Structure 1
Amino acid sequence: MGSPTFDLPPDTGAPPARRSRRKQARPGELLEAALDLFVSKGYAATRVEEVARLAGVSKGTLFLYFPSKQELFKALVRHVLADRFAEWSLELDNYQDDTASLIHYCYEVWWTRIGATKACGLPHLVMAEAHNFPEIAAFYRQEVVVPGNRLVERILQRGIDRGELRAMDVGYGTTLVLAPLIFCAIAQSSGGLCLPNPQFDVPAFLRLQADTLVRGLAPDAQGALP
């Protein structure tokens, strides 16, 4: 089943009635409530009744938009993560600066749009519950992991083609780029449990990571990649 669409009503020039405005806002309110509960309680422990209650609607109203908890979770993942890949791909198509600046920019964008938001808890949730809910893990891999890997592969291949990065297996290179983001997502969603101290500056760490990657993958760097 595909994800539901939430189109706004046509502009008639007059303000919509209060009931109409409320109806249009409900899907977003439900997804916001679902994000709060899924991230704080996990997939298994979250009940649709709680999501509806937090959003201020009945369970029956929730089911009008999302026929099951699994479909609610899928819509949430698409809303906060998967649907952004088209936007990010377009940004990459139009990016004019060099690859070093692009890698720094990607880390900054990830932090501001994902890492510093509640959405950073979703990767941790999926990894924690993948064994018990393999269908959720498979969905997340298809909708988020695969397109995310492809986007990073495009970034690295762009750098190779422009002579700004040395030739490499872009699969290994993609893992190098994404590993610190996964670490930061887990750190954020676990309350900083795996960080060395409470004052750990994640944006500063990501800037250092981006600089280290750029230097290590430069054409004149010492050593060879597999």
Structure 2
Amino acid sequence: MSRPPVSPSPTRQRRKEERPQELLQAALELFVDRGFSATRSEEVAQRAGVAKGTLYRYFPSKEELFKAVVREHLVARLADFAAAAAQYQGRVQDLLRHMMQTWWASVGQGTAGGITKVMLVEARNFPELAQFYVDEVIQPTHELIGRLVQQGIARGEFRPVPIAATVHVLISPLLQMMLQEHSFGACGQRPSGVGAPEMLDAQMSLLLCGLLAEPASKI
């Protein structure tokens, strides 16, 4: 008499469902710690506690694994920000302040913030990954911030300014802080001696004085 098929235990089934996330977390940590080129796929599998073949079952190459990490930790967060901005009804200046502080708290100061440094360091050697990062992270970020600046101008909240250049001015300090956090900060060194939230608040106050159509005394 044949035996009925054995169903996987709930624990084993749950472990299998969690495996992609465990692989992505292991990959994120190794990519940020060692860089893309120096990270080997077998090291990711080992850190996640699986065989190398299991890793390739979910992610057929190291490049695809890196893209999945970026989509999980950056692209998904950008989509959340864009959705929230589309529903927002208040002042654009308040939303910009909130977005900058929230991005730092949820991404920039964490391990995922180190992806920016990895791309800046290794983009030249991996042009296909660089193009992917431009298409899925940089361009959508610029488009989102640009829409908010344009919205502020249309409402009369901001004075007319060149949108693309203003977006760069808004984003650049945040990028600088992420690079510092994941270079000097990784060694316990923060040369400025000023916390990122304070720096972001000062940045937004200074920039808004130049953006707002109303007198600076009303900020």
Separation of aligned partners in 1, 2:190 and 2:12: 47
For the pair 1:49 / 2:54, whether they are aligned, the reply is no
Q: CA deviation at 1:221?
A: 6.5
For the pair 1:105 / 2:98, whether they are aligned, the reply is yes
Residue 131 of structure 1 corresponds to 124
Q: CA deviation at 1:85?
A: 2.5
**Counterpart mapping for 1:143-154 below 5 A:** 143-154=136-147
Unmatched 5+ residue regions in structure 1?
Answer: 1-15
Separation of aligned partners in 1, 2:196 and 2:78: 23
How many aligned positions are there? 206
Moved more, 58-67 or 85-94: 85-94
Separation of aligned partners in 2, 1:221 and 1:75: 46
**Runs of 4+ residues over 4 Å off in structure 1:** none
Separation of aligned partners in 2, 1:151 and 1:102: 12
Q: CA deviation at 1:84?
A: 2.4
Separation of aligned partners in 2, 1:99 and 1:214: 11
Q: Work out which of the residue numbers 186, 195, 203 in structure 2 matches 1:209.
A: 203
Moved more, 67-76 or 105-114: 105-114
Residue 3 of structure 2 corresponds to none
Q: CA deviation at 1:129?
A: 0.4
Q: Work out which of the residue numbers 188, 198, 212 in structure 2 matches 1:218.
A: 212
Matched AA of 1:187 = Q
Q: CA deviation at 1:90?
A: 1.2
Moved more, 78-87 or 158-167: 78-87
Separation of aligned partners in 1, 2:54 and 2:34: 22
Separation of aligned partners in 1, 2:122 and 2:37: 8
Q: CA deviation at 1:220?
A: 4.5
Separation of aligned partners in 2, 1:103 and 1:83: 19
Separation of aligned partners in 2, 1:106 and 1:213: 15
Q: Work out which of the residue numbers 43, 47, 60 in structure 1 matches 2:53.
A: 60
Instruction: State the SS of the aligned residue for 2:140.
Output: helix
Q: Select the structure of larger CA radius of gyration.
A: 2
Return the TM-score normalized by structure 1: 0.87
Q: CA deviation at 1:196?
A: 2.9
RMSD over aligned Cα, in angstroms?
1.6
Separation of aligned partners in 2, 1:102 and 1:75: 29
Q: Work out which of the residue numbers 10, 15, 36 in structure 2 matches 1:17.
A: 10
Structure with greater helix percent: 2
**Counterpart mapping for 1:22-41 below 5 A:** 22-41=15-34
Instruction: State the SS of the aligned residue for 1:219.
Output: coil
- Per-residue CA deviations over 1:106-151 (Å, capped at 9, x if unaligned) read 1111111111210110111001001111111111001100000000
